[in-house]
């Protein structure tokens, strides 16, 4: 007979749980026979006592199996099923570029994404700025879109890892969100449920990241790669810098515009493309779609230069209900803020540092993010044309352009933006945003 309190007691006392005990507990979490209090006690016991590798894999498999696991074997795709996950950051819009690029390179990308919370934005919120776009199709339609187009950027349905949804809500109110063991099961259960052949992880560190400390980010990356691999999902991770905003914009419609411009042939030489390209190279190598880093990079560059990636993105948007000419005419379709204000620096000079977290919170203050899951988001607002580290600024070279719903909201945020920048007379040395590879 399964008694949840006995499983909790054993983990509380530092004992190792069996695969059966973990599976029974997660089954009870899913069907409701495990109470809220018991789930909270379990999360706290794991937080303090931690899990070993075998327990971590057992928890991951149980949470994956709590709902539907996608089977692509009958879809005759003709290529591997691939995905990428990011731990989140300010201006992180990599998914919007990576999914169509990988599709153009022969992969199939069922990218199940989330919404933003706190100072970081969510991929699903960005796609939600597209009028008519149906971001949460049922699983049958998701499979059809991936088969026809090669990629689909959507939100999770209730069928995917339902145990994670309940456990995450409990972690959020019991101060156990930071548990690496529980983070690992949460992230990977949804990816295993997507039926992937390979996964690449973008684990961020710095002021705008979920984990500011690089050592802790590395620890998480190592655990994620090890656990996913032991569960049968080939995985690699890159540690990337989030001490400054990724790209030149933060805010849903503004970030979408930035990506559409790159897909349409705009500049692809900054930190955003560097991180995107590196992740694409890793997933092509891991999946066998390329044999060397050089050939993988050439495939990625070709997908962008020929317009093949843009075509995949346009087709995905159209099939999921959005306008077919979004890339050609973004201004016709994307919402725009009524107030746009340049933000000059407190003094002329060169940007030597950004507080990425503070800039993310400025976007939230404008209404472009949420502090509670039920909050609504204004897709129009945010920051554009942001001066990166090493950029000269002055009276005629603003820190950014602030997009706001009204003048009062803009004026309230200007001091936050100015205080988030450090200006000096000499530019710092350029740093590679891709700091380290984990796995492979």
Q: Hey, what are 373's tokens?
A: 């899951």
Please name which of 393, 381, 416, 432 lies closest in space to residue 255, comparing C-alpha atoms: 381
Cα dihedral value 404, 408, 414, 416, nearest 10: -100
Decide if 155 contacts 110 (C-beta within 8 A): no
d(CA 160, CA 176): 22
Residue among 388, 286, 381 at smallest CA distance from 338: 381
Q: With beta carbons less than 8 A apart as the criterion, state whether 380 and 339 touch.
A: no
Q: Round to the nearest angstrom and report the end-to-end CA distance of the chain.
A: 43
Nearest to 15 by CA among 49, 65, 59: 49
Tokens of 205: 């560190």
**Structure token digits, residue 106:** 């022969």
Angle among Cα 65, 69, 75 to the nearest 5 degrees reads: 160
Backbone angles phi, psi at 26, to 5 degrees: -70, -35
The residue ranges of DSSP E strands in 359-419, in sequence order, are 382-384, 392-393, 400-404
Query: ∠376-377-379 over CA atoms, to 5°?
Result: 150
CA angle 166, 134, 362 (to 5 degrees): 70
Residues designated catalytic: 83-86, 123, 171, 186, 190-191
Helices (H), 234-339: 252-263, 271-287, 293-305, 308-319, 330-333
Torsions phi, psi of 125, nearest 5? Answer: -65, -40
> Radius of gyration (Cα) for the chain, nearest Å?
22
User: What does DSSP assign to residue 17?
Assistant: P
């Amino acid at each position: 007979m399964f008694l949840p309190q006995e499983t909790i007691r054993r983990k509380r006392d530092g004992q190792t749980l069996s695969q059966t005990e973990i599976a029974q507990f997660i089954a009870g979490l899913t069907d409701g026979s495990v109470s809220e209090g018991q789930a909270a006690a379990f999360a706290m016991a794991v937080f303090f006592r931690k899990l070993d590798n075998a327990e971590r894999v057992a928890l991951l498999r149980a949470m994956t199996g709590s709902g539907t696991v996608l089977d692509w074997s009958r879809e005759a795709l003709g290529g591997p099923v691939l995905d990428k996950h990011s731990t989140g950051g300010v201006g992180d819009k990599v998914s919007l570029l990576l999914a169509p690029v990988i599709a153009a390179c022969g992969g199939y990308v069922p990218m199940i994404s989330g919404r933003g919370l706190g100072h970081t934005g969510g991929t699903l919120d960005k796609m939600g700025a597209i009028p008519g776009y149906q971001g949460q199709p049922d699983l049958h339609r998701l499979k059809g879109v991936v088969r026809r187009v090669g990629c689909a950027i959507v939100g999770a349905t209730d069928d995917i890892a339902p145990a994670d949804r309940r456990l995450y809500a409990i972690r959020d109110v019991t101060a156990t969100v930071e548990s690496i063991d529980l983070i690992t099961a949460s992230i990977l259960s949804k990816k295993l449920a997507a039926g992937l052949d390979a996964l690449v992880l973008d684990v961020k560190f710095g002021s705008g990241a979920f984990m500011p400390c690089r050592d802790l980010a590395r620890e998480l990356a190592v655990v994620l790669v090890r656990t996913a691999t032991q569960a049968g999902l080939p995985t690699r991770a890159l540690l990337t810098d989030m001490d400054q905003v990724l790209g030149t914009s933060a805010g849903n419609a503004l970030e979408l515009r930035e990506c559409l411009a790159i897909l349409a042939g705009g500049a692809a030489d900054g930190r955003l493309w560097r991180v995107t390209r590196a992740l694409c190279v890793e997933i092509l190598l891991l999946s066998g779609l390329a044999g060397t880093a050089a050939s993988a990079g050439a495939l990625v560059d070709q997908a962008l230069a020929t317009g093949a990636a843009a075509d995949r993105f346009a087709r995905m948007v159209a099939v999921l209900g959005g306008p077919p000419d979004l890339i050609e005419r973004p201004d016709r379709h994307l919402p725009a803020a009524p107030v746009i204000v340049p933000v000059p620096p407190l003094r002329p000079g060169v940007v030597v540092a950004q507080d990425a977290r503070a800039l993310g919170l400025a976007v939230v203050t404008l209404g472009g993010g949420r502090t509670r899951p039920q909050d609504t988001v204004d897709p129009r607002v945010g920051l554009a044309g942001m001066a990166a580290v090493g950029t000269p600024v002055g009276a005629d070279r603003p820190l950014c352009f602030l997009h706001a719903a009204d003048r009062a909201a803009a004026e309230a945020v200007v001091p936050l933006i100015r205080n988030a920048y450090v200006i000096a007379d000499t530019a710092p040395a350029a740093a590679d945003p891709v700091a380290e590879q984990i796995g492979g």
